[in-house]
Chains A and B, each alone.
Chain A
Amino acid sequence: MPEGAWARAGHGIAAFVAGAAILVVEFAAVRLLAPAFGQSVLVWSVVIGLVLVALAVGYALGGRLGERCASTRPLFLAWLLAALWIALAAWQGAALCRALLPRGLPTPGGLPLGFRGGALATLLLFCAPAMLLAMTTPFLLRRDAARGREGRATGRLYAAGTLGSLTGCWLAPLVWLQTLGTALTLAVTAAAVGGLGLLGLLLARSAGAAAPVAPGPPVPPSRRVLALALLAGLAVTVIEFAALRLMSPWFGQSNPIWANVIGTLLLALALGAYAGGRLADRWGGDAATGPGRLGGLLGLAALWLGLAVWCAPALLEWLLPAGVGSMDLLPVAFRGSLVATVLLFGPPLTLLGAVPPMLVRAAARGHPGRVAGAVLAWGTVGGLLGCLGTAPLLVPLLGSRGALLLAALLAAAGAALLGLPARRAPRAALLVGAAAALLGLGWQVAARPALRHHAGQVEELESPYQTVRVVRQRVGLQVPPEDHAPVPALLGVGGEADTLFLRHDEDAETYQSLLLADPERSRRWLTGGRYFEHLALGACFAGLEARERTLRVLLLGYAGGTVHRTLRQVLPPDLRLKVLGVEIDPGVLEVARRHLAHADLEGPGLRLVTGEDARTVVNALPEDERFDLVLVDAYARTNYLPFQLASVEFFAAARRHLAPGGWVGVNVLGNGWRSPVARAVAATMGRALGPTYAVPNPSYPGNVILWAAPGASLGPRLRADLELHPALLPAGHALERLLLRHDPARDGGVVLTDDRSPSDRLADAELGL
């Protein structure tokens, strides 16, 4: 007999906790590995991919074990083992990562720097606990499922697990990792899993309480069932990744938006699983997976998705129209993303969420646990393919719209596997949906229409990381006065110029790079008073050990090369320039070469590393490589200084590569010196490098440049023999007249470490969320 209501409730809680724990471990894994192996798309994909493989193995194992074991004690023993493993990761994970650090800069055509180390660390630290926890749902299913009611038991447990994933998806990146840090988050998770595992052991029933195994050997699910599971899992993952990217030109990819979108999609999946399970039992057996039932649902999902993709831009533009400023955007975007996700993707995800319990109900034949394990495992394999393929391949090749249309086609293919529905309406839905998706995909590939049109937009490119846009606008800027008018020399005078901006995602005001369209103005006005000049001012500091009269610069966050260009334009005439630039997104360089005259900058004085995380490159630098300037101008997902580029450990690593007299400069975007992010970074630099100095940009008050040099007893000093470029005078004045030394006692600031860095949360709070 199946378990009583209390036991079923307990199993639901166990599935919930397992789902939450798996997501927390996944996020913590990415966070733990980032300082050593970076967060490039390929490295991130291999880490999550390996965890998904472990999940698939766990699902399959859990189903088989659940059929054989009379009590739940083996499951909760597995939980204890998982807890121990997670605790070990918390204790020694960082040390293992340091031991696996890659050495030497990447070679062209080779694997990303962090690939091998990241894969090995994931295998050793996180695959085992993920596998053990994944056993939970299929293991418990047989105990919950009465014959003929396997569907609702599957739906209930699956929904509970998905809700747990939703909880983990919110708790981990937004709260725990930001406040507790990585090691403590893992430790808390280990304690929770271990504690509940102990409780489960105490409450475990004897063998007599288990449902009897059906006579005869288990019948494995048909290939059609497994193919449907794979297609559904693939479609769901493609939708999850591509939906976020489709909406990013309006809402961005900040943590709250990400958690909002993924959380809503998980909620829809959970609802679909619950409803699908109950309906599967109602429809009964093979009928559940007949063309008239599941086939119709998949056809409807394909149709909705196919139409939603084309309605999306109009809806998104209505929810978040152009003209909303960067500082006011996040509250509008947060709520708007919820609306858009529910309306555009909620129904298809709900329908796709119904697939696994229907498949289990159809194929159970007295062995629901084993079948559920197989269905979940193959669904996870589909998820793995989606995870590995969507961001790095599908979105750059087809665009996010194309990827979503492909997901619609996958749903239609799943329906086709079940045969054409007999009734007119479901048949029409399937055929129209498939046709719309196919035609739309063809047009998307051929024409590549832009997702969003900004005034003056010249090009839009969807890279593995973001949507990059080049926009040409006539804008006001600060320019050096023709005469030495005194006061305006500090701020420059107002001017106007056609400017090419390289923006990303939802950026309407900020930019990654820019170039004044007129070469002569670019030479005279540089970047019109923007922060690039304040960073490039470092080339004019005294005391740099310009060995062989060469200024060696490490530029992290190279983007389109604006800082590099400015350095070349302001370089003292007695110096040569050598730059090692690191840019994680090759798409940015691609666009810069087409529109920002990047070819002017290429040559023997420039070494560019693309596709790599800047932290990984710094870790891998040869021991004897030295730089006179280390400039950090790296931002991820518009608003965030990557935490692994703003920690004590990072600045300590940068310090090892500083030449005597060298300086580290960091661009911080936010609320000026009042920004808690700026003060946190200053406090962190102070801990690793010594006295840290903040210089505002009066022309663009959101930016602060932080400077620090080990052993410096005075603040940065310009060279006395140097005649500054006229456009650099305001930056020079700001350095000399506005610079403030960070005083930890008075100015505060959280010290950021690799383990604990609330920088994302501070940035979100500054933007009103």
Chain B
Amino acid sequence: MLGGLLAFLAFLAFQGLLTPAPVAAEDLPEATRRMAALALAEGRWEDLGPILGGAHTAAQRWPLLVARGWWRLGDAAPPAAPEPDDALDALTARRLAWLAAGGREPYPIPGPNEREPWPVLAALVADRQEREGPARARGSPADPLSDLAARMDPEAEARTRWFLGENHRWQMSVSYRSLPPTPEEVAARERAEELAARNGWLALAALAGLLLGVALWLWRGERGDAG
């Protein structure tokens, strides 16, 4: 009987059912994850500490690690990759290595059998890397998130999508002049054009007047008596 139990346990170990499962970000309460996602989207990086205060694992604290080790930098060196840990999922392990290396390589994205636990963060990091990198592949203004949108969790808050979708970086691509002008700006521009046209005609008239005046002066002087 004992032998059978041992064999059963060996079978279970072989199947990986007895190894400790990685503690995923999804194990955080949903409300915590949503608050963290919202803080990321809204740029409240300093709020991540209190929000994720109850998180214990690297996977759960990942946004905080990125906030202090890559998005912003502390005086200390980036956190070193931890010792191999059975509780660490493969994606988090790759990301920790990425962080330890300074974050210069492309941000590790989930593999075929993996799920993105922090889609907003992934979009933000990938977007920033794209903007700061030497060779950018920009999407078109019509599709502001371009391929980043495909990486986002479709269940992300509507507001988050709106905020990222606004994608203020496209303001940089839009000429100040080509922004739709307000009615006041249109009126001011038309008035300036009228003034410029008026001044142009006046300039021609003034120059003609000066030339005419000199010609008249010469004519009168040469017709006058000699000195």
Residues of A in contact with B (beta carbons under 8 Å apart): 268, 271-272, 274-275, 278-279, 282-288, 290, 293, 319-321, 323-325, 327-329, 331-332, 335-336, 338-339, 342-343, 346-347, 350, 484, 486-487, 489-490, 542-543, 671-674, 691, 693-694, 696, 698, 701-702, 713-715, 717-721, 723, 729, 732-733, 736-741, 743, 746
Write out the residue numbers on chain B whose beta carbons fall within 8 Å of the beta carbon of A279.
217-218, 221-222
Instruction: Kindly identify which residue among A342, A691, A701 contacts B209, using a CB–CB cutoff of 8 Å.
Output: A342
> Using Cβ atoms and an 8 Å threshold, which residues of chain B touch A283?
221, 226-227
- A737-B171 contact, Cβ under 8 Å, with A324-B192, A332-B199, A350-B210: no
- Chain B residues in 8 Å Cβ range of A718: 72-73
A737 with B168: in contact, given A290-B227, A335-B202 (CB under 8 Å)? Answer: yes
- 16 pairs, A vs B, C-beta closer than 8 Å: A275-B214, A282-B226, A283-B221, A285-B227, A290-B227, A319-B199, A323-B188, A328-B188, A338-B206, A342-B203, A342-B207, A484-B44, A490-B42, A671-B176, A714-B104, A733-B43
Residues A271 and B214 in contact in the complex (CB < 8 Å), given A671-B177, A673-B172, A696-B172: yes
Bound Cα distance A285, B185 (Å) = 62
Query: Are B227 and A490 closer than 8 Å at their CB atoms?
Result: no
A542 to B74, CA, bound (A): 7
Q: Among the listed A288, A346, A696, A743, which residue makes an inter-chain contact with B171, where contact means beta carbons less than 8 Å apart? A: A696
Contact indicator A736/B71 (Cβ below 8 Å): yes
Instruction: Choose among A672, A721, A741 the residue that contacts B136 (Cβ–Cβ < 8 A).
Output: A741
Whole-angstrom distance between the alpha carbons of A347 and B196 in the complex?
24
B134-178 vs A: 1/0 string, CB under 8 Å? Answer: 111000000000000000000000010001000011011111110
**Chain B proximity of A518: nearest CB distance (Å):** 28
Contact B103 A714 (CB under 8 A): yes
Q: Which residue among B38, B173, B203 has the maximum number of chain A CB atoms within 10 Å of its CB?
A: B203
Query: Are A320's CB and B132's CB within 8 A?
Result: no
Distance A714 CA – B101 CA, assembled complex (angstroms): 12
Q: List 12 additional contacts besides A271-B214, A338-B199, A740-B131; criterion CB under 8 Å.
A: A268-B210, A282-B226, A328-B188, A332-B192, A347-B210, A484-B44, A489-B42, A714-B103, A718-B73, A719-B74, A736-B43, A739-B132
Chain A at the B interface: SS class? helix
Contact across chains for A737 and B43 when beta carbons are under 8 A apart: yes
Contact indicator A331/B202 (Cβ below 8 Å): no
CA distance A336 to B199 in the complex (A): 5
Q: Which among A323, A328, A743 has the greatest number of chain B C-beta atoms within 10 A?
A: A328
Which B residues are CB-close (under 8 A) to A285?
A: 227
Measured between beta carbons, the chain A residues less than 8 angstroms from B74 are 542, 719-721
Chain A CB within 8 A of B189 CB: yes
B34 interface residue (CB < 8 Å to A): no
What A residues does B106 contact at CB under 8 A? Answer: none
Report the separation of the CA atoms of residues A489 and B214 in the bound assembly, to the nearest whole angstrom.
65
Taking a contact as CB atoms under 8 Å apart, the answer to whether B209 and A723 are in contact is no
Interface footprint category on B: 35 or more
B194 and chain A: residue at smallest CB distance: A332
Q: How far is the CB of A701 from chain B (nearest CB, A)?
A: 5
Whether A713 lies near B104 (C-beta < 8 A) is yes
Distance in Å from the Cβ of A68 to the closest Cβ of chain B?
31
Residues of B within 8 A of A741 (CB): 131-134, 136
Given the known inter-chain contacts A328-B188, A335-B196, please indicate yes or no for A743 contacting B134, CB distance below 8 A.
yes
How far, in angstroms, from A293 to B188 measured CA to CA in the complex?
50
Instruction: Give the chain B neighbours of A715 by CB distance below 8 A.
Output: 128, 131-132
**Taking the nearest CB of chain A, how far is it from the CB of B175, in angstroms?**
4
Pick the most buried of B104, B131, B159, B222: most chain A CB atoms within 10 A of its CB: B131
Closest 7 CB pairs of A and B: A287-B227, A283-B227, A335-B199, A328-B192, A486-B42, A542-B73, A342-B206
User: Within 8 Å CB of A284, what residues of B?
Assistant: 226-227
Number of A-B contacts (CB under 8 A): 198
Bound CA span A701–B213, Å: 49
Please indicate the chain B residues that have their CB under 8 angstroms from the CB of A701 in the complex: 171, 176, 179
Q: Contact: B192 with A325, CB < 8 Å?
A: yes
Please, which residues of chain A bring their CB within 8 A of the CB of B128? 715, 736-737, 739
Q: How far is the CB of A698 from chain B (nearest CB, A)?
A: 6
Q: Cβ of B168: which chain A residues have Cβ within 8 Å of it?
A: 490, 698, 737-738
A305-B171 Cα distance, complex, nearest whole Å = 51
State the Cβ distance, B120 to closest chain A Cβ, in Å.
13
Is B82 positioned at the interface, with any CB of A under 8 Å from its CB?
A: no
Q: Does B191 interact with chain A (Cβ within 8 Å)? A: yes
Chain B nearest CB, measured from A763 CB (Å): 14
Cβ–Cβ < 8 Å partners of B133 in chain A: 741
Complex Cα spacing A672 to B171, Å: 9
Cα(A286)–Cα(B226), bound, Å: 11
B33 within 8 A of A: no
Check B54 for interface membership: any CB of A closer than 8 A.
no
Cβ of A423 to closest chain B Cβ, rounded Å: 13
How far in angstroms is the closest Cβ of chain A from B161? 13
Residue pair B103, A489 in contact (C-beta under 8 Å)? no
B42, B102, B179, B222: the one within 8 Å of A487 (CB): B42
- Chain B residues within 8 Å of A335, by CB: 196, 199-200, 202-203
Known contacts A324-B188, A717-B72, A717-B73; decide if A343 and B104 are in contact (CB<8 Å): no
B72: A residues at CB distance < 8 A: 542, 717-720
In the bound complex, residues from chain A placing their C-beta under 8 Å from that of B218 are: 275, 278-279
- Which of A693, A713, A721 counts the most chain B CB atoms within 10 A? A721
Closest to B203 in A: A338
Q: A328-B192, A737-B168 are in contact. Are A271 and B210 (CB under 8 A)?
A: yes
B134 touches A489 (CB 8 A): no
Q: Does B46 contact A (CB under 8 A)?
A: yes
Among A486, A702, A719, A732, find the residue whose CB has the most chain B CB atoms closer than 10 A.
A486
Chain A residues near B179: list those with CB within 8 A.
701
Roughly how many angstroms separate A138 CA and B68 CA in the complex, as a whole number?
77
Shortest A713–chain B CB gap in Å is 6
- B195 pairs with A320, CB closer than 8 A: yes
Interfacial chain B residues near A287, Cβ < 8 Å: 226-227
Tell whether, in the assembled complex, residue A331 and residue B196 are in contact, meaning their CB atoms are under 8 Å apart.
yes
